């Protein structure tokens, strides 16, 4: 069974070009804690090899790769000569993704905050337009002089007309709540508000399964399942792979289901 490896960070050295591929160096911190009796790891250096076609699709350049944060998914190799692989471990890249910057997230959040305000102002104008129609309907039966039978019919019609607006008002929020979200979704939470425990950060999700979820999001515009979040603390309880996918595709808000703290 082939080995899998996932790296996140920026290039620590210049981009090197070859005939059909490019290479650059990266490094990652070791685990902050180690089992008793073992030394803690510091930094591990890697040399990443990417096909030119895959690299060109990312839009990265020799200058930008030193500043952009990227996600590498591939497998380690020790068979490349040291002249081409100065890092301690060589990595053959299967998937390279540019991760969002903090500035981009702040812009997306500010745009997302402005949109709900515009949506909220629209119903108020619709309600103003519907108010005169209610008054006209109520005034018509009152002005018509009729017999007792006609009065009975008028009384029967009035409650039906009053019930229709209430049913429409109840139906409106149902349409606006959580559109195009996976089953079981209870709320939409800002991505930056989610707190990820260190135990999740130490793990590396399966690259193939992660790529399947990324393809699903690109095809449907949503995650396949909501993330499980602890109510009140916003600590991630389950769904770390979907968290990584949401981070990769730059989602501002993610669907969640709450898990309440045990008393």
pLDDT tens digits for range 151-186: 555 454 455 555 555 555 454 444 344 677 888 899
Ranges of residues in the chain whose predicted pLDDT is under 50: 120, 134, 137, 140, 142-143, 145-147, 154, 156-157, 169, 171-177
* Residue pair 254/191 in contact by the 8 Å Cβ criterion: yes
pLDDT in tens, 49-85: 999 999 999 889 888 888 888 999 999 988 888 788 9
Q: What is the pLDDT of residue 37?
A: 76
Do 128 and 208 belong together in one domain? no
Distance CA 152, CA 150 (A): 5
Do 169 and 239 belong together in one domain? no
Q: What is the pLDDT of residue 242?
A: 92
- Length of the chain equals 263
Domain of residue 220, residue span: 187-259
Distance CA 198, CA 190 (A): 20
Do 95 and 9 belong together in one domain? yes
The answer to the question of residue 28 being in a domain is yes
The tally of domains found in the chain comes to 3
Do 172 and 194 belong together in one domain? no
Tell me which of 155, 176, 197 is where a domain ends: 176
The answer to the question of residue 79 being in a domain is yes
Burial class (CB in 10 A: 0-12, 13-18, 19+), 239: buried
Q: What is the pTM of this model?
A: 0.40
């Amino acid at each position: 069974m082939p080995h899998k490896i996932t790296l996140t960070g920026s290039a620590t050295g210049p981009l090197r070009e070859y005939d059909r591929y490019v290479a650059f160096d990266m490094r990652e911190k070791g685990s902050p804690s180690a089992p008793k009796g073992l030394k803690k790891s510091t930094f591990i250096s890697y040399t990443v090899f990417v096909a030119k076609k895959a690299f060109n699709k990312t839009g990265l350049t020799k200058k930008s790769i030193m500043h952009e944060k990227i996600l590498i998914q591939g497998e380690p190799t020790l068979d490349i000569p040291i002249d081409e692989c100065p890092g301690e471990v060589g990595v053959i890249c299967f998937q390279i993704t540019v991760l969002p910057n903090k500035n981009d997230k702040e812009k997306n959040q500010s745009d997302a905050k402005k949109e709900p305000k515009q949506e909220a102002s629209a119903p108020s104008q619709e309600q103003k337009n519907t108010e005169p129609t209610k008054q006209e309907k109520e005034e018509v039966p009152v002005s018509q002089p009729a017999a007792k039978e006609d009065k009975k019919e008028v009384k029967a019609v009035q409650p039906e007309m009053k019930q229709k607006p209430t049913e429409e008002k109840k139906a409106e929020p149902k349409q606006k709540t959580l559109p195009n979200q996976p089953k079981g979704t209870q709320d939409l939470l800002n991505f930056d508000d989610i707190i990820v425990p260190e135990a999740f950060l130490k793990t590396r999700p399966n690259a193939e399964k992660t790529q399947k979820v990324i393809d699903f999001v690109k095809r449907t515009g949503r995650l396949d399942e909501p993330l499980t979040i602890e109510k009140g603390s916003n600590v991630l309880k389950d769904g770390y792979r979907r968290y990584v996918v949401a981070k990769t595709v730059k989602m501002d808000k993610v669907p969640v289901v709450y898990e309440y703290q045990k008393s």
